[in-house]
Structure 1
Amino acid sequence: MPAHDLVVVANRLPVDAHLREDGSVEWEPSPGGLVTAMESVMRNVDSGAWVGWAGSPGEAPDPFEADGMQLYPVMLSAEDVARYYEGFSNATLWPLYHDVIADPEFHRTWWDAYREVNERFAKAAAAVAAPGATVWVHDYQLQLVPSLLRDARPDLRIGFFDHIPFPPFELFAQLPKRNQVLRGLLGADLIGFQRERDALNFLTSVRQLLGYTHHQHEITVPGIGSAPARVVTAKAFPISIDSHAVGEMAEDPEIQEAARTLRHELGDPRKVVVGVDRLDYTKGIRHRLKAWGELLNDGAIDPDEVLMVQVATPSRERVDAYRQLRDEVELTVGRINGDFASIGRPAISYLHRSLDRRAMTALYQAADVVLVTALRDGMNLVAKEYVASRPDELGVLVLSEFAGAADELRAAILVNPHDIDELKTAILRALAMPEEEQRAAMQSLRRQVLDNDVQGWAHAFLGELESAGRAQDVPTGPTVRLTGDAGPSREELTSALSEFARTPRILVASDFDGVLAPIVADRDAVQPDPTALGALRELAELPGVNVALVSGRTLTDLDHHTQMPSSVVLVGSHGAQVGALPPDMDAGTLDGAGTQMDDERERLLESITATLRRIATQHPGAEVEVKPSAAVLHTRKAKGRYAANATEVALEYARTLPDVKITPGKEVVEFSVVDSSKGSAIQTLARACAADAWVYLGDDVTDESVFEEIGDNDLGIKVGTGDTAATFRIGGPEDVAGVLEELLALRRG
């Protein structure tokens, strides 16, 4: 799969599918603020990709190129759309983040889907990002992706931009799973917001809920256990539009003629007032219509001279709140027209559909006044598009102070849309404004919009991202030699084993659970494959061969389940415990100083064990295993959400333990008071037996520390699927015995 230097991750791809008459699919640019903003950015990148949903539930199409961009679709099922998108994203987060204009709904199954879909997006992005690439994640639907990407690819520069408001702490604190959302966002190096107050709301929530300190806009995020702290920057980057492209359209004689034609078709009214919005309860459409209806009823506006045009782009029509809003808006428009319209001349011309960019620019040029009355909005690009569409420097913008654009477009008539009387006064002021005053205000607005376009926004964000966190050492990303379930053929593995078997001195090592024995819920009931164990025993008796079992289990437990002879070295607790060595290995090579327990470590381990037992008690099915130098939380037997919740609580606790090594694995989290790893254990054993090469079989994330150490003559065999640093892959534990027997036969030969 190609590797890209810049990867944009957003809920939707920037294109929509349209069926041609011959049945083939044509991809056309889709409407929307993010697509409009990012389109020009992607065109100026040498190696860029966009990861997102194609818009239809079901299997995702293969990666493709459209409109000059390389696109990687992510699959969403109909259930994902209902729970992740319409549910948690738009019925939980959207209303909560918009000041609870509508009541948010909370359902745990929605959270489950949200987490699962975010994992899917993160995996897709990690697969197409080049080493050290920049990944730019967008918007509230994907707030967990930065942390998931950080775990999978710490080499990446990760940015997140929040296109909608971030709520005050008092509102955000209502969100179930609020800490998980914050930690998801803090996986980024840079978090961008539309307004300074959004950034301050986020910083307050991080301080109040997670207890992390921040200096101005820089947050110190502690590592898990002994992992180093990171610095995350959170600040405002107001988004803009491609003002050059809009300006070119506005100068097009055909569009200017279309604007004149449009006014004529509307009956050549003295004034045209326009509202352009997505049909959403945050846009203040109901407040606007109420004010307009009252102005007509007051006689302050003559419907034969002043016409209102309302464009309401369809939005989320499967969500109840949006269906209800459409009904209310259409009933209100019908009532106002019934009360005040003349025959053949409506008081409000209402369009419930999307207009293309050229038609929209013509409408802006036909408008004497544009009303942007959002009750809460991250930015609102309609305001900026209107300004960029008026090279004649005429027209009036009435702008809600609760839209992000109000921070920049101070020359607009700013209004509190909740105050209907104030809104009515602002409309009348806009209709009566003389041309000289219009020009002065529009000149100021146009300077702001034209001097701060989308290219400047993207350049500012990406420039900040490049330097964000550079005070810390940028971690090296994990080596990934094999992805998914891909790997060399079985014949290639046989060839490599044959060459390895001819090496004078070799070390043969293996993990236990998931390799020599299938993983089971009851760890004490594990049943290793006798054929695999037999092959290891026989290998250990051959000249120039040493064998080791390296496991997260304790030495006593490992010995109990394997019954290996003294010729096989047992390594427990991820390398913290090493059993007796056979005579041909140099015991002096083992440096035990770092693995010795003392009184301080014993007390720390007791404290950790007590805390993990409390966590296990609160999450039925979770269990705690105590090792000589570690305590382990097991969640294999935990039912439903108890497993994920117990893991989350354990990792939250891990952030308070700066001197402890934390190793998350398959349904386990190990807290070790001794700094050890399987990788360092294998390297030490290889030196102790003077091995010329080694082979290792492993299945878990803890085995990646071994695969990372692979030299030119070594072999790493991943058992199962998943991205890995191993050089070969086999299907599962059922294939391990065959590989070991093959190696035994080759070595004997």
Structure 2
Amino acid sequence: MPTHDLVIVANRLPVDARTLPDGATEWVTSPGGLVTAMESVMRTVDSGAWVGWHGTPGQAPEPFAADGMHLYPVPLSEQEVSRYYEGFSNGTLWPLYHDVIVDPEFHRTWWDAYVRANRRFAQAAVSATAPGGTIWVHDYQLQLVPELIRSARPDVRIGFFNHIPFPPVELFSQLPKRNQVLRGLLGADLVGFQRESDAMNFVAAVRHLLGYQVDQYTVTVPGIGSEPARQVTARSFPISIDTAAVSALTEDPALQERAAELRRELGEPAKIVLGVDRLDYTKGIRHRLKAWGELLDDGSIDPHDTVMIQVATPSRERVDAYRQLRDEVELTVGRINGDHAPIGRPAVSYQHRSFDRRDMTALYMASDVCLVTALRDGMNLVAKEYVASRPDLRGVLVLSEFAGAADELRAAILVNPHDIDELKAAILQALNMPEEEQEQAMLSLRRQVLDHDVQAWARAFLAELESVGAPGGGTPAPVRLLGEDGPSRDALEGALAAFARTPRILVASDFDGVLAPIIADRDAVQGDPTALAALRELTEHAGVSVALVSGRSLEDLDRHTRMPSSVVLVGSHGAEVGALPPEMNAGVLDAAALTMDEPRQALLDSITRTLGAIARKHPGVDVERKPMAAVLHTRSARGRGAVNATEAALEYARSLPDVKVTPGKEVVEFSVVQTDKGAALTALARAAAADAWLYLGDDVTDESVFVLGGEHDLTVKVGPGDTAAAFRLPGQGDVSGLLDQLLRLRRTL
């Protein structure tokens, strides 16, 4: 699969599917500011890509190209759309981040789906990004993605932009899994927000909930174990619109005529007041209609002279709160029209449908007043679109102070939409504003909007990311095999035959999950007798060395395998090495690095106590003490205990800068000795003077070995999962057959 210099990650791809008459699918570019901005940015890089959902539940199409962009669809099932998107994203996060205008719902199954979906988006981005590339993640649906990418690709720059508000810490603290969300965002180098107050809310939450060091808008994120600390910058980057495209539309004679025609269709009223919103409870539509209805009741507005158009674009119609909102809005519109509409013309022209860009621009050009009175909004681009659509310098913008646009569009009539009396006064002020005053205000508004378009926004963000991003350097961990894919069995057998002909070889393997099944009771495990017998016999052949490399303690590994002294045992992920047979050179091992001294012993005691406290909070979780490490085991945890205990352990790990922390399959190991399986295997290969080595592993801890595989080495992943190994066996039961085949091949030499 090709890789790219810049990868955009968003919930949706920038295209919509259209079915042609012959049944074929055509991909059409979606309208919207983000798509416009990214299209312009993509033209400045050698290779750009976009990762996102294609909009239909089920299997995703293969990656494809459209409008010069490489698109990588992410599959979401019907249940994931319901729980990840409609559930956690829009039933939990959206209301919470919008000042709890409606009550957010908290469901653990929604969170689980959110985690799974975020992991899938992150994996797609990791695979699509070139070494040293840049990944820009967008919006609240994907807040875990930055950290997931960071753990796999420390070589890339990562930016995140939150298009909606970020709530004060008092509200954000209500969110279950709040710390996980913060740490997910802190995987980025740069976290962008619409308003400075949003950035301030974010760093306040980090300081208050995580306790990390904050210096103004810079957060110092502690590393896990021996990883170095990182700095993350939070800043505001107010998004804008494609002003050039809007300006071009306003100069179109056909569109100018359409604007005039709209006024005629409405009976040439003296004033047209326009509201344009998604049908969302954050947009203040109910408050706006209440104010309009009262103005009509008061006689302050004559419905024969003034008409209101309310465009309410359909939105999230499967969510209960949105269905209820639609019923309330349509009932209110009906009552207002029933009470006040003249014959032949509504008092409120209600449009529950979408308008294309041309029709929307015509509406802006035809309207004398635009009401943007959101109760809470990240930015609200309607305000900027209205300003850009008025080269005639006419029209009045009434703008909520709770919309992000209020920070920039100070010449608008700013209003608190919760105050109905203030909102009514603002509408009357707008309707009666003299033309000279309109012109003066619109000049100021247009200068701000035209000078700061969406392309400038994107360039500013990426320039800041370039300056603050500090990739970890080195080469990214390669991912050679995805999911359950792998070369054919014939390819593996061919590679095994070539390996068997190598004069001096090292054959090494993990134990649990490779030579033995993974079971809940670690002490009851029994190794595969056929596989263990094959390894024992391999040591009897000239030029063959054999080793077992495990996360188990050396004593535990010896007790469960009973291997002869000709097989080297390596325990605790390389921190413990057993006796080497005479033909291997023990002098290459750094014994000093593996020696326990008094400070290390005291540190290990402290770690063991803390992990014990975590285990006591989660039934079924236990702690194993090794000579040089302590391990939290979650395999037997009840309910959600495994996830919660692991989370607590990894948070604790950030306070231990001198400890090697290794998360694995249902374990987290804390070693006071700095080593890993990869380092251990490298030392063993030198000690054996091996020309090539074979390694079998199933766990994330085995990836430190797989990444070291050279041209003549043989790396084999046992079971599913993305891996740097070159080959794959379907499961643990296939290992004995491979070792038997190697043994037969070696006998023929």
Tell me the TM-score range normalised by the shorter chain: over 0.9
| Aligned counterparts of 2:591 and 2:81: Cα–Cα separation in 1 | 54
Q: Is 1:524 matched up with 2:523?
A: yes
- Contact kept, 8 Å, 2:33 with 2:240, in 1: the verdict is no
Q: Does 1:267 align with 2:267?
A: yes
CA–CA separation in structure 2 for the residues paired with 1:711 and 1:125: 26
Residue 3 (structure 1) aligned with residue 3 (structure 2)? yes
- Higher mean C-alpha deviation, range 122-131 or range 679-688: 122-131
Structure 1 CA distance, aligned partners of 2:482 and 2:77?
Answer: 23
Rounded to whole Å, the distance in 2 between the matches of 1:747 and 1:613 is 48
**Correspondence for 1:479:** 478
Residue 599 of structure 1 aligns with an amino acid whose one-letter code is E
Tell me the residue number matched to 2:580.
Answer: 581
Q: Which moved more, 1:489-498 or 1:587-596?
A: 489-498
Deviates more, 1:370-379 or 1:593-602: 593-602
Give the secondary structure class of the aligned counterpart of 2:355. Answer: coil
Equivalent in the alignment of 1:118: 118
- Unpaired runs of at least 5, structure 1: none
Question: Displacement of 1:33 after TM fit?
Answer: 4.9
CA distance in 1 between counterparts of 2:378 and 2:10 reads 17
Change (3 A) 1:496 1:18: closer
CA–CA separation in structure 1 for the residues paired with 2:330 and 2:591: 78
* Residue 195 of structure 2 is aligned to residue 195 of structure 1: yes
State the identity %.
75
Match of 2:312, SS state, is: strand
Q: How does 1:44-193 map to 2 (within 5 A)?
A: 45-193=45-193
Matched with 1:512 is 511
1:632 aligned partner: 631
Distance 1:349 1:41, change over 3 A: farther
1:713 maps to: 712
Whole-angstrom distance in 2 between the partners of 1:2 and 1:258: 47
Indicate whether 1:254 and 2:254 are aligned: yes
Structure 1 residue 40: deviation in Å? 4.1
CA distance 1:311–1:476, change in 2 (3 Å): same
When structure 1 is superposed on structure 2, of 299-308 and 475-484 the one drifting more is: 475-484
Query: Is residue 259–residue 366 contact of structure 1 (8 Å, CA) maintained in 2?
Result: yes
Deviations 1:179-216 (A, max 9, x none): 01100111111100000000000000000000011212
Distance 2:602 2:432 in 1: 78
Q: Residue type matched to 1:157 in 2?
A: R
What residue is the counterpart of 1:694 in the other structure? 693
Quote the Cα distance in structure 2 between the aligned partners of 1:307 and 1:275.
11
* Distance in 2 between residues matched to 1:743 and 1:39, nearest whole Å: 53
Distance 2:56 2:683 in 1: 53
Q: Distance in 2 between matches of 1:41 and 1:295?
A: 47
Cα separation, 1, equivalents of 2:466 and 2:399: 34
| Counterpart residue number, 1:546 | 545
1:739 is the counterpart of 2:741: no
* Greater Cα shift, 519-528 or 621-630: 519-528
Deviation per residue, 1:688-728 (Å, 9 max, x gap) = 12222211111111111112222332221222222222222
2-structure distance, mates of 1:542, 1:419: 87
Task: Name the structure 1 match of 2:453.
Answer: 453
Corresponding position of 1:281: 281
Paired residues of 1:225 and 1:660 also in contact (CA < 8 A): yes
Structure 1 residue aligned with 2:727: 728
User: Secondary structure of 2:464's partner?
Assistant: helix
Aligned to 1:600: 599
Matched, 1:441 2:441: yes
Aligned to 1:366: 366
Residue by residue, what CA displacement relative to the aligned partner does 1:388-446 show, whole Å, maximum 9, x if unpaired? 11111211111111100011111111111111111111111111112221111111111
| Partner amino acid, structure 1, of 2:423 | L
Between the aligned partners of 2:415 and 2:5, the Cα distance in structure 1 is 43
Q: Offset of 1:32 from its aligned partner?
A: 4.8
State the match for 2:621 in structure 1. Answer: 622
Give deviations 1:301-354, integer Å, cap 9, x for gaps. Answer: 111111110000011111111111111111111111111111101111110000
- Equivalent residue letter for 2:643: A
Q: Distance in 2 between matches of 1:41 and 1:676?
A: 43
Is contact 1:696–1:717 with CA below 8 Å preserved after alignment?
yes
Q: Which amino acid aligns with 1:468?
A: V
Please tell me the residue identity of whatever aligns with 2:199.
A
Is there any run of 5+ residues in structure 2 with no aligned partner, and where? none
Cα separation, 1, equivalents of 2:374 and 2:24: 40
Distance 1:324 1:701 in 2: 47
Aligned partner of residue 105 in structure 1, secondary structure: coil
Query: What amino acid sits opposite 2:430 in the alignment?
Result: A
Output the CA distance in 2 between the equivalents of 1:723 and 1:573: 23
Q: Distance in 1 between matches of 2:514 and 2:234?
A: 44
Moved more, 709-718 or 374-383: 709-718
Number of residue pairs aligned between Structure 1 and Structure 2: 748
Match in the other structure for 2:314: 314
The more displaced of 57-66 and 378-387 is 57-66
Preserved contact between residue 307 and residue 347 of structure 1 (Cα < 8 Å): yes
Q: Name the SS for the 1:126 alignment partner.
A: helix
Cα drift, residue 74 of structure 1: 1.6
In structure 2, distance between residues paired with 1:65 and 1:421: 53
Change (3 A) 1:488 1:24: closer
Shift of 1:37: 4.5
Q: Secondary structure at the match of 2:112?
A: helix
Scaled by the length of structure 2, the TM-score of the pair is: 0.97
Query: What is the CA-CA distance between 1:114 and the residue it aligns to?
Result: 1.1
TM-score normalised to structure 1 length: 0.97
Q: Deviations over 1:270-304 (max 9, x none)?
A: 11110000001110111111111111111111111
**Alignment RMSD:** 1.5
